Amino acid sequence: MHNIWTIAQREYRHFFISPIAYVFLVVTLLTLGGFFFLDIMVASQTMQYVPDIQRTLSLLVFPLLFLSVPVITMRTIAEENRTGTLELLLTTPLSDWELVVGKWFGSFLFFLTAIALTWIYPIILNRLISPGLDRGPLLAGYLGLILFVASLTALGVMVSSLFNSQIAALFATFGIVILFWVIGSPAQVMSPGIAADVLRYLSITDHFYNSFLVGVIRIDDIIYYLSLTAFALLLGSVIVETRRWR
């Protein structure tokens, strides 16, 4: 635990030493803020609908987190590998899985920070509309968002452990994330059956858009994200381990 925390802390601090964190947070909050503002303006002028937080949240998931998670995670292990600091870390009493989990946790904490900052929108919205926001969908949406980011980050760290090059890690992560994003689509045209169910179950979006975002918390969705995270981290540890044998 101590080792994981040491690694995670350095990882988290790194974002704030470099301009990465500030640029990311400014762009994310500006984009969301602009959209949020337009949404409220359109709603108040047309009087057609009541603005809700779901639209802002889904914008945060796509394209903001979809694009930024691979960019943030690409350097985690690939960079250590390229500069030779991985050799240093792997000759300290730090096991391979602790390194991978620490790296993941540091990046995950960074996204948690970003997500926490977006709380400002529901707080504003809650004051604007009466009788206030529906708490259920809001909390479910945020829980889903956190689980979603945990698994995306884990996939990114896992892919980063495969490469020396950050750019290679970036594109490979995009590839894998897109795969999980669209894997459910063929199920819509397939005849119902086990194959279609499996594809739908694997889809990273199905478990979010059709459940958490609309205010539903289902145990199997939670298990899906947790197991995807655990699986990616396990695979990442195995990859780091095999690196020693090459």
Is the dihedral angle over the CA atoms 134, 137, 140, 145 positive or is it negative? Answer: negative
- Residue choice 46, 48, 92, 188 for contact with other proteins (CB under 8 A): 92
- Residue choice 2, 45, 219, 220 for contact with other proteins (CB under 8 A): 2
85 binds other proteins, rule: CB under 8 A:
yes
Nearest distance, CB of residue 104 and other proteins, angstroms: 17
As a whole number of angstroms, the distance between CA 66 and CA 178 comes to 9
As a whole number of angstroms, the distance between CA 181 and CA 213 comes to 16
Question: How many chain residues bind other proteins (CB under 8 A)?
Answer: 23
- Residue choice 14, 25, 109, 164 for contact with other proteins (CB under 8 A): 14
List helix spans (H) across 118-184. Answer: 120-128, 135-160, 166-182
* Candidate segments 67-75, 82-90, 194-202, 206-214, binder of other proteins by CB under 8 A: 82-90
As a whole number of angstroms, the distance between CA 134 and CA 215 comes to 9
Token digits for 179?
A: 């795969």
* Candidate segments 55-63, 85-93, 171-179, 223-231, binder of other proteins by CB under 8 A: 85-93
Q: Tell me if 145 sits within 8 A of 212, measured CB to CB.
A: yes
- Residue choice 87, 117, 197, 227 for contact with other proteins (CB under 8 A): 87
Q: What Rg, from alpha-carbon coordinates, does the chain have? A: 19
- The residues of the shown chain that bind other proteins, judged by CB under 8 A, are 2-3, 6-7, 10, 14, 17-18, 83-85, 87-95, 244-246
